[in-house]
Homo-oligomer: A and B are copies of this chain.
Amino acid sequence: MRISLRGQPVPEDTDPRIIDGKAIANALLADLAREVAALIETGQPVPGLAVVLVGDDPASQVYVRSKARQTVAVGMRSFEHRLPATVTEDALLTVIDRLNADPAVDGILVQLPLPRPLDAARILDRIDPAKDVDGFHVVNAGRLSAGLDAPVPCTPLGCLLLLRQAVGALSGLHAVIVGRSNIVGKPLAQVLLRENCTVTIAHSRTRDLAALCRQADILVAAVGQAGLIRGDWVKPGATVIDVGINRIPTADGRTRLVGDVAFDEALAVADRITPVPGGVGPMTIACLLRNTLAAAAARRGAAHGL
């Protein structure tokens, strides 16, 4: 436990080295609520987000409920479409087509994973790219990689916003991203390249990962391996973004969430670090709503301040 100058124990979440994702996400949500109100005040229709949930995966149900609650909390409309796990691909595509054509819907999110044998790539690519608030449509992935205007997938966007808060200007910094998934590692590489970072993408085949990580001014872990990144892999003064969310058993027979970074070790070396939970996680839904507002403003030809 850390002790303050006045001899009081400092609660962990006020350690200035720990990036408070929850507070930053809440500030973003408050900004979004203001922007939504301003848009509506100009006489524009209320922005709307449609979430499509197929099947009854319990984790997906929790996410969808949370998304709906926060969508409404910032003043947007939330539309939920629940379909049985047995839905045919054609029926699901028909739902997407209807949402594409619906003027009240600015953003469409299909909750992943989809039950088999549904073809997620085919279904996601049916979404109108202008309503693709997850940024997973192949056209938007292509636009992002070409440096064109495109929605940034929510988790990489959350990482970027945390980095801007924690670091400020990113130009010239060396970012090492461990993990090359289509939803985090690869789009984040595009985004940090656009910010003029030097970008290295590492993965399971990388040789001497520790030495590579030690070069990073910005170290991003997005692999899903609890505690993979050790303290001595972190360069003193680096900023560490931990995207991993891993559930591990504890001594008392329960479980807890940890990231891909050995947090206490890294905290002793890093300049700034995101905790798990409470770091990148809270940013994801806020960024989804940010993408939804941006899509709504674009469809209305309106400006917004984000």
Chain A residues engaging chain B, CB cutoff 8 angstroms: 121, 137-148, 171-172, 174, 180, 182, 186, 189-190, 193, 196, 198-203, 205-207, 212
Partner of A203, one of B137, B182, B198: B198
A190 CA to B182 CA, complexed, in Å: 11
> Cα distance A241–B198 when bound, in Å?
19
Write the nearest CB–CB distance from A208 to chain B, whole angstroms.
9
A140-B142, A141-B141, A146-B186 are known contacts; what are 7 more A-B pairs with Cβ within 8 Å? A139-B139, A142-B142, A142-B143, A145-B145, A198-B201, A198-B212, A200-B200
Interface SS of chain A: mixed
Are B142 and A205 in contact, CB atoms less than 8 angstroms apart? no
Is the beta-carbon distance between B212 and A205 smaller than 8 angstroms? no
In the complex, residue of chain B having the shortest beta-carbon distance to the beta carbon of A142 = B142
Identical copies of this chain, number: 2
Contact of A202 among B147, B198, B202, B205 (CB under 8 A): B198
Contact A199 B198 (CB under 8 A): no
Q: How far is the CA of A56 from the CA of B157 in the complex (A)?
A: 44
Most buried by B among A139, A146, A189: A146
Which 8 interchain pairs have the tightest Cβ spacing? A142-B142, A138-B142, A141-B142, A200-B200, A196-B205, A198-B206, A145-B145, A172-B205
Contact B207 A172 (CB under 8 A): yes
Q: Are A121 and B141 in contact (CB under 8 A)?
A: no
**Can you give 11 contacting A-B residue pairs, CB < 8 Å?**
A138-B139, A141-B141, A141-B142, A142-B142, A147-B182, A189-B201, A193-B201, A198-B201, A198-B203, A198-B212, A200-B200
Q: Are A145 and B186 in contact (CB under 8 A)?
A: yes
A180: B residues at CB distance < 8 A: 193
- Contact residue among B146, B203, B205 (Cβ-Cβ distance under 8 Å from A141): B146
Q: Which residue in chain B gives the minimum CB-CB distance to A173?
A: B207
Query: A138, B143: Cβ atoms under 8 Å?
Result: yes
Name the distance in Å between A233's Cβ and chain B's nearest Cβ. 15
Q: Which residues of B contact A147 (CB under 8 A)?
A: 182
